[in-house]
Amino acid sequence: MFHLVLSTLAFFQFGHGTTGEASVLTMDERSQVLQVAVEEVKGKIPILAGTGTINPVHVKEMTLQAIDIGCDASLVVTPYYVKPPQRGLIKHFSDMADIGLPVVMYNIPGRTKVDLSPESTAILADHPKIIGLKDATGDLDRVEKIRSLVGDKSHLLLYSGEDGSSPEFVMKGGDGCISVTANVAPKEVHDLMMASLNGDTKLVKKINEPLLGLHKNLFLESNPIPVKWALWRMGLIKSPNCRPPLADLASNFHNDVEAALKSAGLLGLDTEQAAVETKSELF
């Protein structure tokens, strides 16, 4: 709703990702979150539900739930910790796509310790239900490599999963980003992506410079710890608390995140007052 209130033309509404603490939600809680998303934005912007985990049985269960509730696509992360080989990854994503809900694959080796190769990505692009890749490797050369391997499979969308390099990713041939910074600055990130898609380097620099502190400081601790504190500081949520095993943002990082919000123009009189009102409701 924050995005809609700001008249942000988001490409999709993403539910149940890392930033949404999906790993510690029950199936009932997942259902509640997705139902709210469907009720609020279905038909306005596509709804992408995160349904990835280690066990394929659980991925299927969450994907079927997303279908039943009315989501438009799923984001499926490479199975983490167990480090499957490339042939295992190809089978995993193919099996999940066979369920019927369009799939955006998610490659984030820094968290999962397994890397979906460009060659495997190209093989998977043949599947009609595999529609995209969220790439959080930080390797900008992969955009051109994947494009060259995929060839005319133009339905495969490439999204950056790294806020700090997402403009460069898009200008090298990507289609957008799945962003953490957009949780606090949706309009700014939308405008940044549009300028990047248009190849307007001057406008990209103008929009992105005030956001650089957010791209950095929202990762001072594990996501979503800093961004949740930032949303609370802006008065948009009632608590900065994260569920265990995560924790609240360490106090020594408060000033850094607040400074980034101010540099981005996200803490003014209105947000200061909202924050005061939100805090007063908590006590």
**Local structure of 76: helix, strand or coil:** strand
As given in the structure block, the two tokens for residue 65 are 């739930």
As given in the structure block, the two tokens for residue 166 are 């997402």
With a CB cutoff of 8 Å and minimum separation 6, the contacts of 32 are: none
CA distances from 150 to 133, 136, 144 (A): 12, 19, 10
- For 140-143, the CB contacts below 8 A with 24+ separation are 140/165, 140/168, 140/169, 140/172, 142/118, 143/169, 143/172, 143/173, 143/174
Active-site annotation, residues: 106, 134
CB atoms within 10 A of CB 279: 13
